């Protein structure tokens, strides 16, 4: 191969260009798919295909904050977005379905790591723990089931896409202030360490970046000192690899319980919102039934009196008392209970 061919093969070729209405502050390719997440200065996050076709976009729920870091889950299905106020969200790649957490200060760096598979297989071979929780705890209820049941569009719900049992552990590392937090699977807070308590970190004023090694035995940090110097440090984190099985067991159970509690909260919230509407609708139907019965009674008696609300209520109470006391009711009342009243009111 000639030198000219070698030099020409090393050139990057531009395949597309796009103008944006706001300044781009963060960009990150999906590790598994041809997708790129783009964060803008106005704290919006857009997801694009390689052809610049937009998949979805989200706005920031708060004012005057910025996106500080992005991180993809190793399987490429979840995007973590960190904000300058300490808030961070987990977003589904398909439809931006999300739920969120908070740190004490603005997050400087997110890093999502999958544990080394060889280490995981080696430890699984020595697993003495037999998990029988599947027969005791039901599988996490899905967001789609909640949506179909209540016709709800609430997307702040951790379903199976977020709370999933994986053969290999994943760790989401967050650096904020002078502290480091590690979330197993992105949702179970395992470590929240303030490095001010470590002698070698006493002159740190902020951690700018942090990474966890593939075998989870070392945490590397890049910090800014009071003299505005960048310092690189290593922390021993072999406790993570030594307790792999226990961490996986506890985090998985936490995910199942967290999902079930979230599902219960979502159901109760939807029931509370629907309860008032159901009562109003049932009250209207009972009033119409009472007025209809009173009108029919007047026609039979050739009465011309105006309907009286007290008589209507009394007639309805009498129908219910007959049904409760003797188990019988008129055909008209039976048809009303079976046909007019529904599960939704």
- Mean pLDDT for each consecutive 10-residue tract of the chain (345 residues)? 53 79 92 93 92 89 88 92 89 82 85 81 61 63 56 50 69 91 91 82 83 90 87 88 86 81 78 79 80 68 52 68 79 77 64
Closest listed residue to residue 124, CA positions, set 164, 165, 163, 167: 167
For 29-64, how does the pLDDT look when each residue is reduced to its tens digit (9 = 90+)? Answer: 999 999 999 999 999 999 999 888 899 999 987 888
Closest listed residue to residue 174, CA positions, set 76, 104, 253, 245: 104
Sheet strand arrangement including 218-225: 204-212, 218-225, 230-236
> What's the confidence (pLDDT) of residue 190?
93
Residue 161 near residue 97 (C-beta atoms within 8 A)? yes
Closest listed residue to residue 72, CA positions, set 19, 124, 133, 27: 27
Q: What angle, rounded to 10 degrees, do the helices at 244-300 and 143-150 form?
A: 10
> What's the confidence (pLDDT) of residue 305?
52
For 168-213, how does the pLDDT look when each residue is reduced to its tens digit (9 = 90+)? Answer: 789 999 999 888 999 999 889 999 988 887 777 767 788 888 999 9
> Which residues lie below 8 Å from residue 207, measured CB to CB, with a gap of 6+?
108, 109, 175, 176, 177, 178, 179, 180, 195, 221, 222, 223, 224
pTM for this structure?
A: 0.72
Residue 330 near residue 319 (C-beta atoms within 8 A)? yes
| Separation between Cα atoms, residue 29 and residue 37, nearest integer Å | 6
| Separation between Cα atoms, residue 81 and residue 89, nearest integer Å | 5
> What's the confidence (pLDDT) of residue 130?
63
């Amino acid at each position: 191969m000639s030198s000219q061919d070698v030099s020409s093969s090393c050139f990057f070729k531009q395949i597309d260009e796009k103008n944006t209405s706001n300044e781009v502050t963060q960009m990150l390719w999906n590790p598994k798919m041809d997708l790129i997440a783009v964060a803008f200065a106005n704290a919006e996050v857009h997801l694009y295909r390689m052809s610049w076709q937009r998949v979805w976009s989200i706005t920031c729920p708060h004012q005057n904050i910025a996106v500080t870091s992005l991180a993809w889950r190793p399987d490429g299905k979840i995007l973590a977005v960190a904000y300058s106020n300490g808030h961070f969200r987990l977003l589904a790649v398909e439809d931006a379905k999300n739920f969120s957490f908070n740190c004490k200060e603005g997050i400087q760096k997110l890093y999502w790591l999958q544990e080394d598979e060889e280490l995981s297989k080696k430890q699984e071979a020595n697993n003495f723990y037999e998990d029988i929780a599947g027969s005791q705890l039901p599988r996490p209820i899905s967001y789609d089931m909640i949506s179909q049941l209540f016709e709800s569009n609430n997307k702040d719900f951790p379903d199976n896409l977020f709370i999933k049992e994986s053969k290999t552990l994943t760790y989401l590392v967050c650096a904020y202030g002078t502290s480091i937090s590690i979330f197993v699977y992105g949702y179970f807070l395992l470590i929240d360490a303030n490095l001010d308590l470590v002698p070698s970190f006493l002159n740190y004023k902020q951690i700018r970046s942090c990474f966890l090694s593939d075998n989870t035995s070392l945490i590397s940090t890049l910090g800014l000192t009071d003299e505005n110097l960048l310092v690189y440090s290593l922390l021993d984190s072999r406790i993570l690899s030594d307790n792999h099985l226990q961490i996986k067991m506890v985090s998985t159970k936490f995910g199942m319980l967290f999902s079930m509690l979230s599902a219960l909260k979502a159901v109760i919230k939807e029931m509370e919102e629907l309860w008032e509407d159901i009562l109003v609708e049932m009250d209207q139907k009972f009033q119409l039934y009472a007025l209809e019965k009173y009108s029919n009674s007047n026609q039979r008696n050739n009465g011309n009196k105006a309907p009286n609300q007290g008589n209507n209520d009394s007639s309805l109470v009498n129908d219910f008392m007959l049904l409760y006391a003797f188990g019988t009711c008129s055909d008209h009342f039976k048809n009303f209970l079976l046909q007019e009243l529904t599960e939704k009111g």
